[in-house]
Amino acid sequence: MRKVHVHVRDLDYTNKEIVRKVKVKPGQEQFIETVDECLQEAATYHQWHPVAIYADGRVVGFAMYGSFGANKDTWIDRIIIDEQEQGKGLGKKAMRELMDIVPNEYGVSVLYLSIIEENKVARRLYESLGFEYIHEKDPNGELIFKWEKGDWGF
């Protein structure tokens, strides 16, 4: 099996329109906002950092992360792999990349994310990467997960 190189890159004029076309599979829309909705939120709340996810030089997804408040609570808030690219392990590789760069960018050792309870696929992915449910919900009722750098060899 050929090794696929996955990395993230800031949005700019070369990739923004391509990223805006990233869509989830039918039935997954209930679990996450569209890329356009995420970009609108990032335009309103400048703490969010939207990025394109690349695999072997082509856009395959979108992610958004940010750090908030005096405690620098840092979140990987959105990760979307295009419907045509799902099932190839790219989401896991993208998460590993984010788990490497985001703590370094903000000088933190803890990351948070949240998911809709019914999103079992995402839960399995995040738990396989060392995120643990902390028995709390965000204001939207989503389950909050926490990861600490160093716990899983990252």
At 116, is the secondary structure helix, strand, or coil?
A: coil
Give the integer Cα–Cα distance in Å for 125 and 63.
15
**Of 54, 65, 112, 126, which residue is the catalytic one?**
126
Q: Is 126 a catalytic residue?
A: yes
Q: Which residues does residue 75 pair with via DSSP β-bridges, in sequence order?
A: 66, 112
In total, the chain counts a number of residues equal to: 154
Residue 39: phi and psi, rounded to 5, are -65, -35
First to last CA, the chain: 24
Spatial separation of the C-alpha atoms in residues 84 and 99, rounded to whole Å? 24
Q: Which residues are catalytic?
A: 126
